[in-house]
Structure 1
Amino acid sequence: MLVPFLPRRTEQVLPFAALVEWTGAARLWQGQSLLMEPFQTFSAVAGAGFRVPTGLGVTLMPLRHPFEAAHKVKTLAMATGKDVVAGFGPGAKTFQQSLLGAPYRSQLTAVREYMTVVRGLLGGDPVDFDGTYYSCHAGMGPVMSPPVRLGLGVLRPGMARLAGEVADVAVTWLTPAAYLDGVVRPAMREGAESAGRSVPRITAMVPVALERADRDVSDFVLASNSAHMQAPHYLDMLGKAGVDLSELDQRAAARRMAESGAFLFGNIDQIVKGLDEYRDAGVDEIVLNLTGVCRLHGANAAMDDLKKILAAVGADRRDSGE
């Protein structure tokens, strides 16, 4: 599950960490935050007694050199005592411009260099690497810790192929199940085959809200993803997935998102069916994203929806013999 807000205090996250510990949920995730940094948040949660597997999806490369990224990831695994999925991504070009003075001329080259350095450092050997965007001539030394899997934020085929070459996990956001099956997975297989390695796992961040009498799907889609629905790289991905928002006003675009399966909305049976479509598409880990519910109705409402969905998914899997 995704922490459905940007925390300002550690104790705000504890109920969600407890839900991971006490239910069938496998991992607690957080995206990049410019309030409390996710690495520190999860370490503080572990210090409060909730040592759960964590996922970072995704932290933005311009914020830190890959040496610092590797150091923070290793520290988090040691602090929690649990495995970590560490997802990275370049962020929007405007964000790169703001921090670096200019966007990466080649997004794929910058990501490849970043992942190469981080993986080398986590392997324990000295890294001797000179790239166009990132260089490193240092090492952290070997140390025992729980496993760290490197993730890459993936939306489109080019990044999916690169994930096949250099990542352990492809972390997707707002991607319909059919698009993952028909576009992302084949591109990842192509990249993995060219590199002679296994195809990475897929982790899908899935925005979701339970239907109730006083709830309008458009409100939840916009509360959760209005910024993404205006970003060029998301619009391009959605277009490739057959979700054209160009001629629609905001509320119509939001309804189109729900109709496409990019946002799951409905009764509990419909939600379970939608999640099953992601599993059938080859997704290894589904992350429940209740951000829209939290923004409109608060953390308690998001927690209530999470409990209902987790219970229903658990019952569904037991009934199917999994």
Structure 2
Amino acid sequence: MKIGIAIGDIRGTAPLAEVVGQVSTAADAGFTTAWAAQAFGMDALTTLAVAGGSVPGIGLGTAVVPTPQRHPLVLASHALTVQAATDNRLTLGIGAGIATMVDGMFGLPHDRPVHRMREYLSALDPLLHGETVSYQGETTRAVGAVTVPGAQPPTVLLAAMGPAMLRLAGELTDGTVTWMTGPNTLCDHIVPTVSAAARTAGRSAPRVVAGLPVCVTNDESAVRARIAAAFGLAGQVPEYRAVLDREGVAGPQDVAIVGDEGTVLREVQRLADAGVTEFMAAPFGTSQEQQRTIDLLAGSQP
């Protein structure tokens, strides 16, 4: 199992120069990928274009960009521009978005998310491959093409937790990316469902990227309390509540990887045993706690 590092807002608000420094640190430590989430601050794809232009070598990924507020033509243009700016190192992670945010913040429809995503991908995939589309679906319409010299189509991952979205991920994309999903759910639900769908569709074995907060500490209970405060919203929305309930836990603090060095390494190994292909570690805590975590994970890589 490979290990990547989350950068940017998910680790706390930071200036762009500091986020670029996080990518540089990850590259120097030998991590596979620097992952940026689209939250309420910096644009994830723009951040990766800036950072990737300054830091060579390391893979770059979004985990994830919500699609409802981005037309396929717009997202294809943005993603391919990042490819051109970073020597084609982008993994494009996308998702349907949290329904309450899609509606409450943007005033956009969020019904039938799997159907909407199927139509969205039907337009996005050919656009990423430089093809001209004239797609007329029930929820998505796209007519045109995107041309970015030097850009290759990125790997696409679909955020998926429910069975239908996981099947779609296996059928139409290169795999899935999860957040706040524990090892039992990954082993018994996520990995087998997306893998079976990929086999049925005649695709290669899917990538399964699992994201979790992680903190190496001698005060586990205090850190879990801070994680509960920082990520408590995830335990309330239906999308995350479903996988937390499947795992049998109360909230994000219970699936986060927290403890001393030995404990953290054992929990990371559980992800590998579950069939995860890349752990997206989101270092949590003070700068000292995050650095201790990064040092341990860097040293644990093959």
Task: Verify same fold: TM over 0.5.
Answer: yes
Take 1:208 and 1:118, find their aligned partners in 2: how far apart are those partners? 33
Take 1:166 and 1:38, find their aligned partners in 2: how far apart are those partners? 23
Gaps of 5+ in 1: 246-252, 318-322
Take 1:15 and 1:105, find their aligned partners in 2: how far apart are those partners? 39
The reply to whether residue 304 of structure 1 matches residue 296 of structure 2 is no
Shift in Å, 1:234: 1.0
Shift in Å, 1:169: 2.4
Equivalent in the alignment of 1:136:
142
The reply to whether residue 94 of structure 1 matches residue 100 of structure 2 is yes
Deviates more, 1:37-46 or 1:280-289: 37-46
Gaps of 5+ in 2: none
Larger radius of gyration: 1
Q: Structure 1 residues 71, 149: closer, same or farther in 2, change over 3 A?
A: same
Structure 1 residue identity aligned to 2:183: A
The reply to whether residue 44 of structure 1 matches residue 50 of structure 2 is yes
Q: Is the 8 A contact 1:14 1:50 kept in 2?
A: no
Equivalent in the alignment of 1:18:
24
Q: TM-score, normalised by structure 1?
A: 0.84
Take 1:266 and 1:5, find their aligned partners in 2: how far apart are those partners? 18
Shift in Å, 1:300: 4.7
Take 2:104 and 2:141, find their aligned partners in 1: how far apart are those partners? 21
Shift in Å, 1:158: 1.8
Q: Is the 8 A contact 1:97 1:103 kept in 2?
A: yes
Shift in Å, 1:164: 0.7
Structure 1 residue identity aligned to 2:82: L
Q: TM-score, normalised by structure 2?
A: 0.90
Q: Is the 8 A contact 1:6 1:33 kept in 2?
A: no
Equivalent in the alignment of 1:280:
273
Q: Structure 1 residues 110, 7: closer, same or farther in 2, change over 3 A?
A: same
The reply to whether residue 75 of structure 1 matches residue 63 of structure 2 is no
Q: Is the 8 A contact 1:14 1:45 kept in 2?
A: yes
Equivalent in the alignment of 1:2:
6
Take 2:49 and 2:195, find their aligned partners in 1: how far apart are those partners? 34
Shift in Å, 1:8: 5.1
Identify which of 179, 182, 185 aligns with 2:191: 185
Superposed, which structure 2 residues align to 1:243-282 within 5 Å?
243=249, 245=250, 253=251, 257-258=253-254, 262-282=255-275
Give me the identity figure in percent: 24
Structure 1 residue identity aligned to 2:270: E
Q: Structure 1 residues 238, 196: closer, same or farther in 2, change over 3 A?
A: same
Q: Is the 8 A contact 2:84 2:148 kept in 1?
A: no
Take 2:49 and 2:104, find their aligned partners in 1: how far apart are those partners? 29
Shift in Å, 1:217: 3.5
In the alignment of these two chains, the number of paired residues is: 296
Matched residue SS, 1:62:
coil
Q: Is the 8 A contact 1:175 1:204 kept in 2?
A: yes
Take 1:33 and 1:232, find their aligned partners in 2: how far apart are those partners? 18
Equivalent in the alignment of 1:152:
158
Take 2:149 and 2:21, find their aligned partners in 1: how far apart are those partners? 31
Take 2:29 and 2:128, find their aligned partners in 1: how far apart are those partners? 31
Shift in Å, 1:76: 0.7
Take 2:148 and 2:220, find their aligned partners in 1: how far apart are those partners? 55
Structure 1 residue identity aligned to 2:111: R
Matched residue SS, 2:6:
coil
Shift in Å, 1:282: 1.1
Deviations 1:35-89 (A, max 9, x none): 2111111222234455632110011112210111111111111111142111111
Higher relative contact order (CA 8 A, sep 6+): 2
Q: Structure 1 residues 26, 41: closer, same or farther in 2, change over 3 A?
A: same
Equivalent in the alignment of 2:91:
85
Structure 2 residue identity aligned to 1:303: Q
Identify which of 282, 287, 298 aligns with 1:289: 282
Equivalent in the alignment of 1:242:
248
RMSD after superposition: 2.2
Q: Is the 8 A contact 1:120 1:126 kept in 2?
A: yes
Matched residue SS, 1:43:
helix
Q: Structure 1 residues 106, 308: closer, same or farther in 2, change over 3 A?
A: same
